[in-house]
Amino acid sequence: MKFEDIYTVYWQKVYRICMGYVNDHDWAKDIAQETFISVFKQLSSFRNEASIETWIYRIASNHCLRQMENKGKLPRANFPAEISNEPESDIREKSAFLYTCISELPEIDRIIISLELENVKQKEIASIVGLSETNVRVKIYRIKEKLTQKFNRYER
Amino acid sequence: MNDNIDFKDLWQTKVTETPDIKEVYYLINKEKKRLLKRLIATNIIYFLTATYIMAIWVYYKPQLLSTKIGISVSILAISIFILAQNQMLPLLKKVNSSMTVSDYVDQFNKVQRKEKFLQTTMMNIYLVLLALGIFIYMYEYVAKTVVSVLLTYGITSGWFAFNWFYLRPKTIKKQQAKTNDLIAKLETFKNQLTDA
């Protein structure tokens, strides 16, 4: 796969994973760009040991973790202040709330749930994170439970 | 209580404009230039310092063996320092971002611990060797009167004492605070990965 094609196919996906991690548009965009710089540099050494998707998500996840070096920069509650009654804005609001909730989870959980929501198979998530498939399944179940609780409290 | 929230649907609604790929190419070039500049700068500083010390050797033609030993020890001190700095590069290269998150956290942790060692131990060795080198080197030029010996060695000792007791702990403390923070953070990641 050519770099240009990878960029087109994966930019949004990588951006969303970064967004789930930091919940800040500019910061997420920066991490996504760092990810693609790494992809570009390492593409020649990619040997199909994993699928290209797994490989890209590993790089993205590790770049997210590297954000610990940006001390003082904390995930931001990017929640819209205005509330309107339009159905479209309701979805946007809920989506923003979801990203806020995810960015408040422990770091590894943020990555796992972002990948799950990005429709990555649990087997692949296991090979991205380096955990067993069972562990991943249990974690996803618990995280979703936590998110559901938060949503129910929010909707009340 | 609603247990059927479609998180995937909410997740996918987040879309942003894909930036032009040229932005990525621009950043890649910028990084390459930055690395190259740093490499050149480090080596130029090393080269100039070494040349300067060697020039003293050639120009002043020291008579005593102690002066030559002093010069050699000083060069050794600078070499060790540069070597330690460069040792970090292959280590950092080993931390390949395409490994699994769990391996990445382990590797990164190792690098940080090594960095911690390099920061303290190498800085101590560097300062001791440099002081020693300069002390031996100076002898030939100041050992003319007791006063000049006392004065020159006194001032130089004072300077090294200031470095050793004030600047060194301050620098180490600052660097270690950063490294310790990173190590602590990596430990939390590790716990999150084992606690399933």
In 3D space, the residue among A85, A78, A84 whose CA is nearest the CA of residue A21 turns out to be A78
In degrees, to the nearest 5, what angle opens at C-alpha A76 toward C-alphas A70 and A80? 155
Size of the A and B interface in Cβ pairs below 8 Å: 126
Interchain contact A13–B (C-beta under 8 A)? no
Please answer yes or no on whether A108 and B101 come within 8 Å at the CB atom. yes
Interchain contact A77–B (C-beta under 8 A)? no
Distance from CA of A83 to the nearest CA of B (A): 17
* Whole-number Cα distances in Å, A57 to A16, B17, B65, B66: 11, 20, 61, 60
Provide φ and ψ at A82, rounded to 5°: -80, 140
Among B13, B97, B186, the residue with its CB nearest the CB of A92 is: B13
Instruction: Report the pLDDT value the prediction gives residue A37, as an integer from 0 to 100.
Output: 93
Among A15, A106, A151, the residue with its CB nearest the CB of B5 is: A151
Q: How far apart are CA A77 and CA A67, in angstroms?
A: 17
Distance from CA of B82 to the nearest CA of A (A): 24
* Whole-number Cα distances in Å, B111 to B39, B80, B88: 20, 19, 8
Instruction: Please tell me the pTM assigned to this model.
Output: 0.79
Among A25, A46, A144, the residue with its CB nearest the CB of B7 is: A144
Instruction: Report the pLDDT value the prediction gives residue A81, as an integer from 0 to 100.
Output: 44
DSSP letter, residue A48? S
* Whole-number Cα distances in Å, B158 to B3, B139, B150, B153, B190: 72, 17, 12, 8, 46
Please answer yes or no on whether B13 and A95 come within 8 Å at the CB atom. yes
Q: How far apart are CA B189 and CA B174, in angstroms?
A: 23
Over residues B75-133, the pLDDT tens digits come to 888 888 877 777 666 666 667 788 899 999 998 888 888 888 877 888 899 899 999 99
Report yes or no: A31 and B27 within 8 Å, Cβ to Cβ: no
Q: Which residue of A has its CA nearest to B31?
A: A37
Please answer yes or no on whether B192 and A107 come within 8 Å at the CB atom. yes
| Mean pLDDT of the A24-31 span | 93
Q: How far apart are CA B139 and CA B152, in angstroms?
A: 10
Chain A residues touching residue B27 (CB < 8 angstroms): 33, 37
On average, the pLDDT of chain B sits at 85
In 3D space, the residue among A41, A42, A117 whose CA is nearest the CA of residue B5 turns out to be A117
Over residues A60-80, the pLDDT tens digits come to 999 999 888 875 665 555 554
On average, the pLDDT of chain A sits at 88
Please answer yes or no on whether A58 and B185 come within 8 Å at the CB atom. no
In 3D space, the residue among B189, B17, B31, B112 whose CA is nearest the CA of residue A38 turns out to be B31
Please answer yes or no on whether A111 and B101 come within 8 Å at the CB atom. yes
Q: Which residue of B has its CA nearest to A58?
A: B98
Which sign does the torsion angle of CA B94, B99, B104, B107 carry? negative
Over residues A116-145, the pLDDT tens digits come to 999 999 999 999 999 999 999 999 999 999
Q: Estimate the share of chain A in helix, then strand, then coil, as percent rounded to the nearest 5.
A: 75, 0, 25
Mutant choice from B9, B15, B16, B180 vs A, greatest count of A C-beta within 10 A:
B16
- The residues on B that touch A, with CB distances below 8 Å, are 1-3, 5, 7-8, 10-16, 18-19, 21, 23-24, 27-28, 31, 96-105, 178, 181-182, 185-186, 188-189, 192-193, 196
Report yes or no: B109 and B191 within 8 Å, Cβ to Cβ: no
Q: Which residue of B has its CA nearest to A117?
A: B8
Interchain contact A95–B (C-beta under 8 A)? yes
pLDDT band at B157 (very low <50, low <70, confident <90, very high): very high
Report yes or no: B140 and B64 within 8 Å, Cβ to Cβ: yes
Instruction: Report the pLDDT value the prediction gives residue A20, as an integer from 0 to 100.
Output: 95
ipTM metric: 0.85
Distance from CA of B80 to the nearest CA of A (A): 27
In 3D space, the residue among B137, B119, B151, B160 whose CA is nearest the CA of residue B71 turns out to be B137
For every residue of B134-166, DSSP letters joined together read HHHHHHHHHTTSHHHHHHHHHHHHHHHHHIIII
Q: How far apart are CA B136 and CA A24, in angstroms?
A: 58
Report yes or no: B108 and B167 within 8 Å, Cβ to Cβ: no
Q: How far apart are CA B11 and CA B178, in angstroms?
A: 34
Over residues B180-191, the pLDDT tens digits come to 888 898 899 999
Interchain contact A106–B (C-beta under 8 A)? yes
